[in-house]
Structure 1
Amino acid sequence: MIKNYKWLLLLSLTIAACSSDDDEGGTVDEPITAGSADFSKYVALGNSLTAGFSDNALFKRGQENAYPNIMSQQFALAGGGTFTTPFVGDDNIGGLLLGGTQIQGPRLAILGFSGSTPNIGSLPVAPVTEVTNQLTGPFNNMGVPGAKSFHLIAPGYGNVAGVATGQANPYYARFASSSSSTILGDAMAQNPTFFSLWIGNNDVLAYATSGGTGTNQVGNLNPATYGPNDITDPGVFANVYSGLLDGMTANGAKGVVGNIPYVTTIPFFRTVPYNPVPLDAATAAQLNAGFAPYNGGLQVAAANGLISPEEATRRTISFQAGAGNKVVIVDSYLTNLAGLSLPSYRQATAEDLILLTARSFIGTTVGGNPAAVNGLSVPLADSWVLSKDEVAEIKTATDAYNASIATLADSKGLALFDANSLLQQVYNGGIRFGNYHMSASFVTGGAFSLDGVHPGARGYALIANKMLEAINAKYGSNFKGVDPADYQIQYPAQL
C-alpha cells in the first residue's frame, strides 16, 4: 500500500512538472507530416516571382527570400531534400552584364530622405554578374525573370548567343543545361516528386507595365509572332499550360499551381493618382485658354455627328484653381478625328491607372519650356497610362487564364493557390498578422518592394504561407508556415 502511494506521488510530480513547462511556453510541437505528398525532390517553375526578384533586380538576398526557398525549408521538416538556386553574384546588388556591357540595371534602394519622403534610386555600384559565366545545375528553383507561359517550352530560350539579339533570356542563359534546352525540359529531367508552377503573370503584365503599348493578340495562335509587350491569346495560354502540367505530372509528381492576380491590385498602378495637380487661378485660366480651340472642335464634331455628345463631354478638357486637377492623356480608343486636326486627348478618370514611373515625370517641362508641362499642356503619352479600356482587356485575358488554370489543376488533382484573391485582399484593406498589418501601400505597406510590382521579403513570406495552406488542404499535410514578421519590409541599401 505504501509502495502504491509512492508511485502516485511520483506521478503527481510528473504532471505538475509538465504543467509548469506548459505555463512557461514549453509545449511540444505537433510533428510535421507530408500527408499524401512526397516532398523529397521539389522543383519550382515560374518567372521573376518564383526567382525572388525584388526592387527591380535579381540579387542574392532576394533569391534567398524567394517563396520557393521559404517553402523548401518547410518541406525539409517532412522529408524534403536539398533545394538549390542559381544565385547571382555575392554583391547583393543585382543587375547583369553581357560581355562586360550592362544589360540589366542594379536594384532600387532608399538612398536617403527629403523630410519624410524617401529618395528611391538605383544603387551607384556596377553589377558584377556576367551572363556568360554559366552555372552547372541542375537547380531546383527554375524561376526565370521575364518568362511568359510559352517561354517555358521554347528551345533556345537560354542560348547565350541569342541574348544580345533579344531571342533568349539572360537569366535562363546563366543556368540552362544546353543552348537548346527548355525550362520545362530541365525541370522534368530532375524527376521531381513535387513541384510548384506560377506562370502567366507576364502574359499580361508586360502589356500593363508598358502602358498598353503592346498588342492584344487574342485570336493569334502563333506566339512566335508576338511582341514583348503583347497579351497572350487565352487559347495559346491554355494549350501551353496543359502541356506544362502534363510534363510535370508525367511521373506521378504532385504539386501546387498559382493563378494570376489582377494587375490593378499592385502599387505600380495604384500609387500615382489620376488627379494630382494643384493649380493657381492664373495657371488654370491659361491652360483653359490653350485648350479652348480643342474643346470647340469637339463641339463641331458632335454637331456633325462624328462623335456622340457623350464623347464630346468626355473629351472636353477643363482646369480649375486648387487641388485635384486631372492629368491630360492620349487615348487611342477615342474616335479618330484626325480629319478635323483634333488629337485623341482627354483628362484621366478614376478608371484610368497612372503608372508609377510617371510620378517623377508629371509636371516636368519639355526642353525647359515653362509653357510645355507634361501631364497638363503636354498630354501624357500612352506609355505613362493604363487606360480603362486597356484595363478591361487585361482583366478579360486574366479571367480566361485563371479559368484554364483552375480547370487544369483540378483535372490533375493539384493544389491551387488563389493569388488573385490574396492580392485583392492585400489591396482592399490589407492583412493582419500578430501585431502587424500588410497592405499594398507603396514603400510602407510591407507587401511589395520598391519597384511596385514584385513582393519584398515579407510579401514573399506571405505567399509561401498561402501556398502551404493550399498544399495542406489538398494533400493533408500540416505545415505551419513562417512568421512574416521575421522578414523585413524593405531591403536597406547596404546588405
Structure 2
Amino acid sequence: MKHRSTLIFSYLPLLLLFASCSAELDAPRPFSGELSFGKYIAVGDGFTAGFMNGGLYREGQELSYPNLLVQQFRLINDIPFNQPLLPENGTGYLKLDSLLRQACDLVPPEPQVHKVPPSPHWKVTLETRPPFHNLAIPGLKIEQTLSATLHLENPFFRNMAQVPDTGGMAYDDWLARAKTDFFTLWLGTENVLNYALKGGESPGSELIKPDSFAYFFNQSLQALLAQDPSTPGLVANIPDVSHFPYFNTVGYLWVNRENCSGSTQPIYIQTSAGVRTAKAHERILLIADSLIHYQQLGLSAARPLPGNYVLDESELLYLRQMTQAYNEQIRLLVEAHNAHLPKARIALVDMYHELGLANESGLVVDGVPITAEYITGGMYSLDGIYPTPRGNAFIANIFIARINAFFKAAIPTINITDYNGVEFP
C-alpha cells in the first residue's frame, strides 16, 4: 500500500501539469477580434455615469459599467479611460444603517438609511481633468442633447463638460469633439424614467413622440461618428423601468406593521377618472411607503394616494408602449446606419430583454441570484432604480457578450461575485 501511495504522489505533479494545460486550452486567450481598443468612449445618462444609491459619488463612478468594461479591455490593450470624478461624496448618497424588524414576521424588515452629506462645491469641482472618456450625464433626456442651455438645466453637464458661463455648447457638440475607436451609447432610459417617477402626472413628465425621439437619438449617434462613420460601437435600447424595485416594492394591499393578524386593506388612489382602490398590476412608487405608513394616505377613500405616487393601468400601458416605440426607433436607426456600410459596424444591445430576464423572473449568475427585489436582489442599489456594483458588473457582461458575438472577440466576462450588491452594515 505504501509503494502504491508513493507511485500516486510521484505522478501528482504531472497530473497537475496536465490539468493546468487543459485549463489553459479551455480558456481562450483574450483578443479583440475585429475591434481596435485604442480609445473607448462611453455615452449615456445616470446608468452609464455610475449613479448609485441616490447620488453620484466617487465610488459609484469608479464602479460604473464602462469602467468595469475597460478593466476587461485592458486584458488585451492597456487603454486610457479618464472619468470626470466628483469629490469623494459627490452629491451625497444613501447608506444602509440597519434592517428594522417589525412586530410581525408577516411584514418584511424596514430599511433604516441615512443620507451621506455631499462634498462641498461638487457642482463646480472635479478631481480629474479632461479629456474624458466617460461622457455620461445623469438625468440627461434625449431631447436635451442639442440644447445650448443644458448647462443651466443640468449641473453635471456644466461641470463635467467644463461649459463656460456664456454657454453655447450642446451635449452633442461635446460628443463630436471626442475622437474614438470604439463606443457604447445608451440613451433614452431617463426619458421613460422621468415619466414613471412622476407617476405620469403633468407637467414635467411628458414623453416626446417616437419620431422626435429618433431625430435626437440619431443626432447623438452621428455626432459620435462625425470623425469616421465606420467607427464600431454598441447601441443599447431601453429597459422596462416599471420592473425596477422602486415601482414594485409597495404592494396594492397594505399590511399593518403593528399587528400580526395578517389582514390587509386596499390602498385608495387618485386617478384621472376619480378615486378607486389600486389594482394588483398597478405600480405604487417606493416614496409612497412612508406617506401610507406615517400619514395614513391611501387608507381611505377620503384621503387617497395622490396620482403622482402611482402608475395606474392606463399610465403603465402608455409607459410600456412608448418604451417599445422608442426601442423600435433605435433598432431602425442601427439597421439604417449599417445598411450604408460594406460591413455592419454597430451592434444593438437588447437591454429591454436582458434586464427583463433579471427583473421579471430573476437569474442565477456565477452562483448568486440577480433579481429586482429591493435591497436583497443584488441588482439595484438603495434608490431602487440604479444598479449596485454587482448590477453594473452584470450590465458590463451583457455588453461583453454582445461584443464577443458581433465582433468575433474573446473578452473575458466579469465574475459578478467580485462586486457587492447593497452593502449591509
State the TM-score, normalizing by the size of structure 2. Answer: 0.86
Deviation at 1:360? 1.3
Deviation at 1:373? 4.8
5+ residue gaps, structure 2, are 1-10, 102-107, 338-343
Q: 1:210 aligns with which of 189, 198, 207?
A: 198
Q: 1:274 aligns with which of 237, 248, 252?
A: 252
Separation (CA, whole Å) in 2 of partners of 1:38 and 1:18 = 39
Output one character per residue of 1:70-111: Cα deviation in whole Å (capped at 9) or x when no partner.
111112223351001111112xx331xxxxxxxxxx211111
> How large is the Cα RMSD of the aligned pairs?
2.4
Amino acid at match of 2:292: I
User: 1:41 touches 1:193 (CA, 8 Å); kept in 2?
Assistant: yes
Question: Is 2:107 aligned against 1:107?
Answer: no
Could you say which residue in structure 2 is the equivalent of 1:125? 117
User: 1:55 touches 1:450 (CA, 8 Å); kept in 2?
Assistant: yes
Output one character per residue of 1:409-452: Cα deviation in whole Å (capped at 9) or x when no partner.
22333111111112211122211123211111000000000100
Q: 1:255 aligns with which of 223, 233, 236?
A: 233
Superposed, 1:386-397 pairs within 5 Å as 386-397=311-322
Separation (CA, whole Å) in 2 of partners of 1:441 and 1:22 = 44
Output one character per residue of 1:3-43: Cα deviation in whole Å (capped at 9) or x when no partner.
xxxxxxxxxxxx99664224368833422111112221100
Could you say which residue in structure 1 is the equivalent of 2:210? 234
SS of equivalent to 1:143: coil
Could you say which residue in structure 1 is the equivalent of 2:280? 350
Which has more radius of gyration? 1
Separation (CA, whole Å) in 2 of partners of 1:155 and 1:399 = 29
Separation (CA, whole Å) in 2 of partners of 1:154 and 1:43 = 21
User: 2:291 touches 2:297 (CA, 8 Å); kept in 1?
Assistant: no
Could you say which residue in structure 1 is the equivalent of 2:143? 150
Could you say which residue in structure 2 is the equivalent of 1:173? 158
Deviation at 1:351? 2.4
Output one character per residue of 1:135-182: Cα deviation in whole Å (capped at 9) or x when no partner.
641210111100011222322323xxx2xxxxx211111121433222
User: 2:47 touches 2:138 (CA, 8 Å); kept in 1?
Assistant: yes
Deviation at 1:183? 2.4
CA gap 1:460/1:279 in 2 versus in 1, 3 angstroms: closer
Amino acid at match of 2:207: I
Deviation at 1:194? 0.6
Output one character per residue of 1:467-486: Cα deviation in whole Å (capped at 9) or x when no partner.
11111111111111110000
Deviation at 1:245? 1.8
Could you say which residue in structure 1 is the equivalent of 2:186? 198
CA gap 1:322/1:279 in 2 versus in 1, 3 angstroms: farther
Residue identity (%): 28
Could you say which residue in structure 2 is the equivalent of 1:58? 56
Q: Which has the higher contact order (CA 8 A, sep 6+)?
A: 2
Separation (CA, whole Å) in 2 of partners of 1:243 and 1:328 = 44
Deviation at 1:123? 2.6
Could you say which residue in structure 2 is the equivalent of 1:417? 349
Question: Is 2:16 aligned against 1:23?
Answer: no
User: 1:111 touches 1:121 (CA, 8 Å); kept in 2?
Assistant: yes
SS of equivalent to 2:369: strand
CA gap 1:126/1:259 in 2 versus in 1, 3 angstroms: closer
CA gap 1:25/1:384 in 2 versus in 1, 3 angstroms: farther
Superposed, 1:78-477 pairs within 5 Å as 78-79=76-77, 81-90=79-88, 93-95=89-91, 106-115=92-101, 117-133=109-125, 136-158=129-151, 162=152, 168-178=153-163, 179-214=167-202, 227=204, 229-250=205-226, 251=228, 252-278=230-256, 323-332=263-272, 334=273, 344-365=274-295, 373-376=297-300, 377-412=302-337, 413=344, 414-477=346-409
State the TM-score, normalizing by the size of structure 1. Answer: 0.74
User: 1:54 touches 1:456 (CA, 8 Å); kept in 2?
Assistant: yes
Amino acid at match of 1:74: Q
Amino acid at match of 1:407: L
Deviation at 1:350? 1.2
Deviation at 1:112? 2.2
| Count of aligned positions | 391
CA gap 1:189/1:279 in 2 versus in 1, 3 angstroms: closer
User: 2:96 touches 2:111 (CA, 8 Å); kept in 1?
Assistant: yes
Amino acid at match of 1:462: F
Deviation at 1:357? 0.6
Deviation at 1:261? 0.7
